[in-house]
Structure 1
Amino acid sequence: MTLMKRIKFSLVLVFACLLAPLAHAAALPDFTELVEEASPAVVNISTVQKQDGGRISTPFGQFHGPNGEDIPEIFRHFFRDMPQFRERPHKAPQSLGSGFIISRDGFILTNHHVIKDADQIMVRLNDRRELEAQVVGSDQRTDVALLKIDADNLPVVRLGQSDELKVGEWVLAIGSPFGFDHSVTAGIVSATERALANENYVPFIQTDVAINPGNSGGPLFNLEGEVVGINSQIYTRSGGFMGLSFAIPIDVALEVSEQLKGQGFVERGWLGVIIQEVNRDLAESFGLRKPAGALIAKVLPDSPAGAAGLQEGDIILSFNDHAVTLSSDLPPLVGRVKPGETAEVEVIRQGRRQTIDVTIGRLPDENVQAAVPAEEPVETSRLGLVVAPLPEELQEKWNLRSGVIVERVEEGAGARAGLSRGDVITMLNGERVETLEQFKRIVADLPDKRSVPVRIVRRGSPLFIALKPN
């Protein structure tokens, strides 16, 4: 290589090294304009909330010493049970969370848990004005609340479409973590349609945006400056941010807010089934190539599902042309259908696919079931189970029409499948168990070394498990 070529090659390397950081910087988003445009419509929300005896509930559980001094968080558990260090009665607003203005005449979206049980709600605007807010409506199931303040010509956010979000996309949050107004944090979408325990009606957006107490109810923006979610929950072991944050999709929040605005409460569709996940063993027992769908463990009495002919043991594969991959996919799909409308439900029943039209009902309030085991005479089966006829009191208590109760579990297939004393077997290998004699016949006809589905009722709750006879 000649000297000139070496010089040129060296210059190319130098320029490449200089341009690499610039290219990397250019690839990162600039949030400054977005924040400047959106911040005026983000508000701080604080409440006064009395408890019994005039005590005040605060978001951070603030305690006070005998002279009114604050006790640091690290010491609170030492003083919690000492009378002189208990919370002192007082009435002062405590910063709870955030919200955002969606209309120029003062409608504000936030979380239900931010304003729950509040005696007074104060909204602090970007221009430092503080106005009292009224609750238009609040929905605990989706954790969405709609507030109204008496003001005009307010700045508003631009609303986007959460169903267009993609994993890996940049998002930004504005809120008041720990009371620090208009704090901005950014990250990416980690997942969409994420199901959380006890949150059946919200397909959450998961992000790694830093969210802490006080961010609740604040907006989640995409790079276009549009609100795509309401920051609602975090997963934490420390009480602070750990990289797992969850937002309510704005599409869901707007549907809820429209109902709250129109009638003050939310109506949801109801199918009337108890469902469970289809794992690998259950998929094999039902003859599926892979785990998928929502397995119907129980059809509730007087339900839309029962009226339409859905049965226990059906596996729902799609609802209104939306695929049901996980059982958690189904409740949000059903909940968004208006009561009285007809939905198409595709199921697989005994290996055959079929579509059933269901007239969706209105979701009732709470359904609670409880249980106690029973004891009766014994019968032994090939599965290592000692079973007995189902007592009448359990039939009434758990609304069971038939079945046999497990009195004892010995070594064998039943023990390996996880059956336990007090379980009621109501269906075995697709056949409903009516009598003890019929149960023994079904067991005798079971195939060897292949999983079969068993429907049981355990402490009042229905459940399918996979059982593999010897």
Structure 2
Amino acid sequence: MLDKKQLIVPLAIATIVMAGIVGWEINKRMSVNTAITSQPSPGVTKEQNLTSEIAKSQNSIVEKIAKEVTVRVFTESVPGSGAIVFQQSKGRQGNIYSVLTCQHVIADSKKGVYRVLLPDGKIYPARVKSTPKLKGLDLAIIEFDSDTIYRVAKLGKSDRLGTNTSVYAAGFPNHHVVNSAQIEDTSDWGLHAFRVTTGKVGSISPQQLPDGYSLGYTNEVASGMSGGPVFNDRGELIGINGRLKYPVEGIDAFVYADGTKPSIEVFQQMEALSWAIPIATYQQSFNK
């Protein structure tokens, strides 16, 4: 019969062997689990990842274009925004640039004093260009002179837009909400006030609303972004911002050109959208 000392050695050896086997098995399973968890989640396909990357790339491209063609318009009252739409060379005397904005942005400047903040931070004096063909539309053109070469917005096909099409609204909000008790004025923020919001076309009104508005979109647009550009996903200018969501006038803000009003159901859909004047309306006014 074996004594206790004779039993201790075999038991110790067996314990070491078992511990080694268990440890090997654990390491093996951990390796397998690691390999499994390092694989892409079966819930996200390569196509979905690619679509996401394409969307990010498009956003980046459009935002870059927006920064290069959007200007801030300073008036004697409340600032607004605008888009550079034309350049005319004066030879050695530099260039004349045309900025498309909203009529209501410049309307309250009694002395006709205007300034524009450009994407490089420079500020130029500006003047209103007489445009009788824009009568009846909430659109205006102001001009400034500069030796610097600035990008000019490419006009898109706003008449080819469909609902749920992605759009981008750009401009300079006049206020920044810090919290529920604090709102900051952005008049002296310079280019830091610039903003681009994303959304989709929510409505294309079959009849024009007052002042030429007919393009509704889900983007958030703030006071100060009036006159700013609306782009498609190729960075082409397809509209001019001008009307905010939920106007205080209620349904009276949506009276059609023929004097009729939308149904309550349609009105509720319309008031939840921001509104722009399609660039096609601007173009058609010069073809009359």
Task: Tell me the equivalent position of 2:128.
Answer: 135
Query: Any conservation in 2 of the 1:159–1:226 contact (CA below 8 Å)?
Result: yes
* 1:150 CA drift (Å): 1.2
**In 1, Cα distance between equivalents of 2:168 and 2:218:** 10
The amino acid across from 1:234 in the alignment is L
Pick aligned residue for 2:236 from 223, 226, 239 = 226
- Pick closer, same or farther for the CA change 1:211–1:154 going to 2, 3 Å: same
Q: With the length of structure 2 as denominator, give the TM-score of the two structures.
A: 0.62
Query: Any conservation in 2 of the 1:44–1:181 contact (CA below 8 Å)?
Result: no
Count of residues paired in the alignment = 201
**In 2, Cα distance between equivalents of 1:245 and 1:146:** 22
Query: Any conservation in 2 of the 1:195–1:203 contact (CA below 8 Å)?
Result: no
Tell me which stretches of 4 or more aligned residues in structure 1 moved more than 6 Å.
11-14
Pick aligned residue for 2:246 from 216, 225, 236 = 236
Name the one with the larger helix percent. Answer: 2
- Pick closer, same or farther for the CA change 1:194–1:132 going to 2, 3 Å: farther
* 1:117 CA drift (Å): 3.4
Larger Cα Rg: Structure 1 or Structure 2? 2
2:86 maps to 1:103: yes
2:62 maps to 1:34: yes
The amino acid across from 1:22 in the alignment is N
Pick aligned residue for 1:46 from 69, 74, 83 = 74
**In 2, Cα distance between equivalents of 1:43 and 1:226:** 16
Correspondence 1:6-405 to 2 at 5 A: 15-19=41-45, 22=49, 25-26=52-53, 28-29=55-56, 30-48=58-76, 58-59=77-78, 96-104=79-87, 105-118=96-109, 119=111, 120-137=113-130, 139=134, 141-152=136-147, 153-178=149-174, 179=186, 181-193=193-205, 195=207, 199=210, 202=212, 204-236=214-246, 243-256=272-285, 258=286, 338=288
Query: Any conservation in 1 of the 2:213–2:275 contact (CA below 8 Å)?
Result: no
2:193 aligned counterpart, secondary structure: coil
- Pick closer, same or farther for the CA change 1:14–1:154 going to 2, 3 Å: closer
The amino acid across from 2:242 in the alignment is S
**In 2, Cα distance between equivalents of 1:113 and 1:237:** 15
Per-residue CA shift, 1:30-84, capped at 9, x if unaligned? 4112211331111000111xxxxxxxxx44xxxxxxxxxxxxxxxxxxxxxxxxx
Per-residue CA shift, 1:228-281, capped at 9, x if unaligned? 000111232579xx841001010112344x4xxxxxxxxxxxxxxxxxxxxxxx
**In 2, Cα distance between equivalents of 1:98 and 1:194:** 27
Q: With the length of structure 1 as denominator, give the TM-score of the two structures.
A: 0.39
Gaps of 5+ in 2: 1-31, 88-95, 175-185, 187-191, 250-270
The amino acid across from 1:230 in the alignment is I
* 1:107 CA drift (Å): 0.8
Per-residue CA shift, 1:280-336, capped at 9, x if unaligned? xxxxxxxxxxxxxxxxxxxxxxxxxxxxxxxxxxxxxxxxxxxxxxxxxxxxxxxx8
1:189 aligned counterpart, secondary structure: strand
* 1:181 CA drift (Å): 3.1
**In 1, Cα distance between equivalents of 2:284 and 2:207:** 19
The amino acid across from 1:127 in the alignment is D
**In 2, Cα distance between equivalents of 1:140 and 1:176:** 25
**In 1, Cα distance between equivalents of 2:229 and 2:135:** 18
**In 1, Cα distance between equivalents of 2:60 and 2:234:** 12
* 1:194 CA drift (Å): 5.3
Query: Any conservation in 2 of the 1:193–1:204 contact (CA below 8 Å)?
Result: yes
* 1:161 CA drift (Å): 1.3
Gaps of 5+ in 1: 1-6, 49-57, 60-95, 259-335, 339-470
RMSD across aligned positions (CA): 2.9
Query: Any conservation in 2 of the 1:107–1:148 contact (CA below 8 Å)?
Result: yes
**In 1, Cα distance between equivalents of 2:240 and 2:202:** 15
Query: Any conservation in 1 of the 2:70–2:229 contact (CA below 8 Å)?
Result: yes
The amino acid across from 1:187 in the alignment is G
Q: Which has the higher contact order (CA 8 A, sep 6+)?
A: 2
* 1:193 CA drift (Å): 2.9
Per-residue CA shift, 1:400-430, capped at 9, x if unaligned? xxxxxxxxxxxxxxxxxxxxxxxxxxxxxxx
2:199 aligned counterpart, secondary structure: strand
Query: Any conservation in 1 of the 2:101–2:240 contact (CA below 8 Å)?
Result: yes
Name the one with the larger strand percent. Answer: 1
* 1:141 CA drift (Å): 2.0
2:119 aligned counterpart, secondary structure: coil
**In 1, Cα distance between equivalents of 2:40 and 2:248:** 46
The amino acid across from 1:116 in the alignment is A
Query: Any conservation in 1 of the 2:230–2:239 contact (CA below 8 Å)?
Result: yes
**In 1, Cα distance between equivalents of 2:51 and 2:61:** 20
Task: Tell me the equivalent position of 2:179.
Answer: none
1:33 aligned counterpart, secondary structure: helix
Percentage of matched positions with identical amino acids: 27
